[in-house]
Amino acid sequence: MMDTIFSMGNNVEVCCLLEQLKSAKEHIEITIDTVEEERRKGLATIASAALILRCLDEGLYPSWDAQNMKSVRLAEKLGYEFDHEYTAYEVSMEYRTH
């Protein structure tokens, strides 16, 4: 379930998934997407930094799972450190059975 929890002007939305971990600690999985015509303006950096600060204020762990190298660079700019690479698969909505 994806919910927009932070939004700013210029068509930038920060979406996240909040889930309960087995250790009973809450975290948030951050996903960033900026519409193409608004990219390269620093908006994702600003929105991400604000969301991360909000998470920390609310006692949430802001988890960042980069899908591509642009996301890796943004995460590193925000203080995250690269841990390891892994293979991920994406399922097209047209092939979903439920």
70 DSSP 8-state letter:
H
pLDDT the model gives residue 21: 40
On whether the pTM is more than 0.95, the answer is: no
The average pLDDT across 29-36 equals 80
Does the structure show a pLDDT above 50 at 54?
yes
Selected residue with higher pLDDT from 45 and 23: 45
pLDDT the model gives residue 75: 94
H helix or E strand, kind and range, residue 26? strand 26-34
Q: Could you tell me the sign of the dihedral formed by the alpha carbons of 19, 25, 26, 32, in that order?
A: negative
Does the structure show a pLDDT above 90 at 79?
yes
Spell 56-86 as b/e; 16+ CB within 10 A means b.
eeeebebebebeeeebeebbeebebeeeeee
The span from the CA of 34 to the CA of 12, in Å, is 5
Superfamily of the domain at 3-95? Gcn5-related N-acetyltransferase (GNAT) (3.40.630.30)
The confidence band for 20, taking pLDDT boundaries of 50, 70 and 90, is: very low
